[in-house]
């Protein structure tokens, strides 16, 4: 199976990178499944149903969220009825939506997507390691699903790497989101799970993690400075990770970053 996970979509420029490029990438890379992190898609804060639909319309199969899941209150009205929109699995019981789902492909294969949020330097949630272990324990890749992704939405690189090793061999890919900076450590772990600490941002990199530069610079340089954060509006770099899996086991055969457009150096995977 061939699939693509696109990192945090930041504002209008990030949305444009997704809607302009996903149809071409699906064809060019012969993709079976596409996942996007959309928690910053609505002007940097949350997501709306209109934005979700615009992503589905161009070939996005699943959208993950994160610590900004509820910034747009309207999401509460539709997340329970939209299995293609996932929030972190370690929100407390009774929280709207779900954190794991298995999706049926048109050819009969099944793809698992789950998201867990980190605990270091993040809003307090339930234990992510316990939550994802309990969710995955009844399931076996190669039997209950053919390939799978777990997104670790976290601040600390150590916590992301720890959960990658914790889940090694149980899913096809563990990939990090949230920091908006693509890391250079794409690899296949010992037991066959592909891993990258952070996929990066789909947004304008002439910015401070996707926000127009001046206000964040002022806040750091002059404590007490105030100003409204606004998403940067220049051309976005689409940052993603591409994985091919073994058809029998679901384990990764290859992993490669994908970067296109905007300011960052372009990288395009070569399918096996």
How far apart CA 72 and CA 42 sit, in angstroms, is 8
Q: How does DSSP classify residue 1?
A: -
Token readout for 9 is 């979509």
Cα dihedral 159→201→64→192 (10° resolution): -50
Tell me, yes or no, if 180 is annotated catalytic: no
Q: Evaluate whether 111 touches 147 at the Cβ level (below 8 Å).
A: yes
Chain-centroid distance of CA 29 in Å reads 19
Which position among 43, 68, 101, 153 bears the catalytic label? 68
Residue with tokens 């096809």: 172
How far apart CA 187 and CA 195 sit, in angstroms, is 5
Residue 269: burial class (beta carbons within 10 Å; 0-12, 13-18, 19+): buried
Q: Evaluate whether 70 touches 76 at the Cβ level (below 8 Å).
A: yes
Token readout for 29 is 């890379």
Taking the alpha carbons at both ends of the chain, their separation in whole angstroms is 11
Q: Evaluate whether 68 touches 39 at the Cβ level (below 8 Å).
A: yes
Cite the active site residues. Answer: 68
């Amino acid at each position: 199976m061939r699939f693509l996970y696109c990192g945090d979509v930041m504002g209008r420029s990030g949305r444009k990178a997704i809607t302009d490029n996903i149809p071409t990438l699906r064809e060019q890379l012969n993709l079976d499944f596409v996942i996007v992190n959309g928690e910053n898609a609505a002007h940097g804060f949350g997501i709306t149903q209109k934005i979700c639909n615009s992503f589905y319309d161009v070939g996005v199969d699943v959208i993950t969220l994160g610590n900004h899941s509820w910034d747009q209150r309207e999401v509460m009205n539709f997340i329970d009825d939209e299995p293609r929109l996932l929030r972190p699995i370690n929100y407390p019981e009774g929280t709207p939506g779900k954190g794991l789902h298995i999706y049926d492909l048109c050819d009969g294969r099944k793809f698992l997507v789950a998201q867990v949020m980190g605990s270091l330097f993040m809003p307090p949630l339930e234990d992510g390691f316990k939550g994802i272990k309990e969710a995955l324990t009844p399931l076996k890749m190669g039997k209950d699903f053919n390939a799978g992704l777990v997104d670790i939405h976290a601040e600390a690189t150590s916590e992301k790497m720890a959960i990658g090793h914790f889940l090694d061999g149980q899913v096809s890919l563990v990939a990090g989101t949230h920091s908006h900076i693509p890391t250079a450590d794409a690899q296949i772990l010992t037991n066959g799970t592909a891993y990258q600490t952070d996929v990066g941002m789909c947004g304008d990199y002439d910015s401070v993690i996707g926000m127009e530069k001046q206000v964040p610079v002022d806040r750091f340089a002059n404590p007490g400075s105030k100003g409204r954060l606004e998403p940067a509006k220049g051309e976005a770099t689409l940052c993603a990770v591409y994985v091919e899996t073994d058809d029998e086991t679901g384990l990764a055969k290859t992993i490669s970053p994908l970067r296109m457009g905007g300011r960052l150096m372009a990288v395009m995977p070569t399918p096996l």
